[in-house]
Amino acid sequence: MAILQLFLTKLMFDTIIIGAGFAGSVLAERLATQKNKRVLVIDKRRHIGGNCYDRFDDHGVLIHQYGPHLFHTNNKPVFDYLSQFTQWKQYQHEVLAFIDGQKVPVPFNLNSLHALFPRSLADSLELKLIDKFGYGVKVPILDLRKVDDSELKLLADYIYDKIFVNYTAKQWGKKPEDISAEVTARVPVHISRDNRYFQDKYQAIPKYGYTRIFENILNHPNISLMLNTDFKDIFSIDFKTGSMRFMDSPFKGQLIFTGLIDELFDSQFGELPYRSLDFQFEHLETEQYQEKTTINYPNDYAFTRITEFKHISQQTVSGTTIVREFPQDFDRNDPKKNIPYYPVFTPENKEKLDRYLSFSKQFKNITLVGRLAENRYYDMDDIVARALQVYTDKFA
């Protein structure tokens, strides 16, 4: 019946949005509530929420199906916007890394320093760090490596070797020696005793989970959903004329696309590479498995980290559920590897992406938004901000 209703009303949609993650959902909500547009949101998954989707497992534990998502931002308009659709619970994220048999805070800070180094050396390094950079600042390793001090260079090399390089090699499927030096610039040393992973002003988790946020965002009579549907099966674009068809009828409205940009344009300039992840969940009959939400394993095991969800949900249910995260190559044809999580940034891929982006500008009724459509990394708050900005710039 739902498909028949969509078929009968298909010509009435002003906008079709591919993807029910934050980018697509926020734009659907804005168009429906602010411009009174009729919007259809299509997603190939059986659920809304994209990679932020969460659900209760068979044991009653609220798990994040596609890995841990922790909301944090300094952007008050983004926080205020999402607060229309959820209540919040306070949550400060902390991460440990298993280094030389010990679990220490990351990003690397003064507490990590004193846990891993002899006291006299740690005291000396702490004084030098504070004297050189000040207290409470985050210093990129690349900057630390440039300091003309043998002890600080030793520290920078240690952090790079023990915490960063092998984790990154697993994450991106590269040999340590093949990792670009520029990437290390993003690895901070926090000259502080603040063990929190983020220092943003607004840090919280949605009281009833992320999926509930999406349900509330999309709960509008002008918004229709078509899940478990590959857009390629019902939507087509003539790349020569720019004309679009939805369910074999002409579509004159707007297309907002949040999926793989190369897939949208039939990979005519070549496929863009991505990295995928394999999440292996395990339920344990114990109240707590580990000290903090996430523990990274940069140098041991094939997985990169273990997350325990009860630290996030703050539930009191019996038992606990953890997930081990295994990075893997993306494979469009393998159902166990066909979820793209991260674009791979290389000069060759940048050239392909530029061709796709240039080509997309020919189509005035197509808007690309999101990590996959724009082939760039966004945090949750970033993508909400991006979607709100796209709405203001193009549709308001």
Phi, psi (deg, nearest 5) at residue 354 = -60, -35
In tens, the pLDDT along 29-67 reads: 999 999 999 999 999 999 999 999 999 999 999 999 999
Helix, strand, or coil (residue 145): helix
CB-hemisphere CA count at 13 Å for 209?
A: 19
**Would you place residue 13 in the very low, low, confident or very high pLDDT band (cuts 50, 70, 90)?**
very high
Cα angle value 282/283/288 (rounded, 5°)? 110
In tens, the pLDDT along 98-145 reads: 999 999 999 999 999 999 999 999 999 999 999 999 999 999 888 888
pLDDT above 90 (res 79): yes
Domain boundaries, the chain: 2-48+218-271+344-395, 106-190
How many angstroms separate the CA atoms of 68 and 111, rounded? 24
| Bridge-based pairing state of the strands 254-257 and 320-329 | unpaired
CATH of 2-48+218-271+344-395, one of 3.30.300.30, 3.10.20.70, 3.40.50.720, 2.60.40.10: 3.40.50.720
**Hey, which bits of 74-222 come out as E strands?**
88-90, 95-99, 102-106, 108-109, 138-140, 188-190, 202-206
Predicted local confidence at residue 145, as pLDDT: 84
Radius of gyration of the chain, Cα coordinates, nearest whole angstrom: 23
Predicted local confidence at residue 173, as pLDDT: 87
pLDDT above 90 (res 352): yes
pLDDT above 80 (res 11): no
User: How large is the average pLDDT for residues 261-284?
Assistant: 96
In tens, the pLDDT along 322-349 reads: 999 999 999 999 999 999 998 887 788 8
| pTM attached to this predicted model | 0.93
**Would you place residue 175 in the very low, low, confident or very high pLDDT band (cuts 50, 70, 90)?**
confident
- Cβ atoms 278, 322 nearer than 8 A: no
- Cβ atoms 165, 179 nearer than 8 A: yes
Helix, strand, or coil (residue 94): strand
**Would you place residue 187 in the very low, low, confident or very high pLDDT band (cuts 50, 70, 90)?**
confident
Predicted local confidence at residue 329, as pLDDT: 94
**Residue 55: Cβ-neighbour burial (10 angstroms; 0-12, 13-18, 19+):** middle
